[in-house]
Amino acid sequence: MFLPKYPDNPTPPPAHNYAPTSADPAPVRRSLPSLSVDNKTIATVIVGGVVLTALLAAVAVTAISVAVAAVVLRSLLSEQHRR
């Protein structure tokens, strides 16, 4: 039932007789689209990087100061409970 059916007279696969000739056109090389970068674009990228770096530094300083304040408050409260 599920056996494959073979042709009665099998034919051999066709032979490939491809020989490249000099008449074949060379493949077309496509260049990437050009990106025009002017001084305004460069300045915008630099300013954006400086702003993002400053924001990251501000977040880091805030996190450190909150951690220090938490440690100080914890030590003051635990010292008060001992008395």
Question: Total domain count for the chain?
Answer: 1
Q: What is the pLDDT of residue 81?
A: 67
Q: Which residue segment(s) compose the domain that 66 sits in?
A: 39-83
Q: How confident is the model at residue 68 (pLDDT cuts 50, 70, 90)?
A: very high
Residue 68 lies in a domain: yes
Residue 50 lies in a domain: yes
Q: What is the pLDDT of residue 19?
A: 67
Residues 6-54 pLDDT 10s: 777 777 777 777 666 666 566 777 777 777 778 898 999 999 999 999 9
User: What pTM value is reported for the model?
Assistant: 0.48
Q: What is the pLDDT of residue 54?
A: 97
Q: What is the 3-state secondary structure (H, E, C) of the chain?
A: CCCCCCCCCCCCCCCCCCCCCCCCCCCCCCCCCCCCCCHHHHHHHHHHHHHHHHHHHHHHHHHHHHHHHHHHHHHHHHHHHHC
Residue 72 lies in a domain: yes
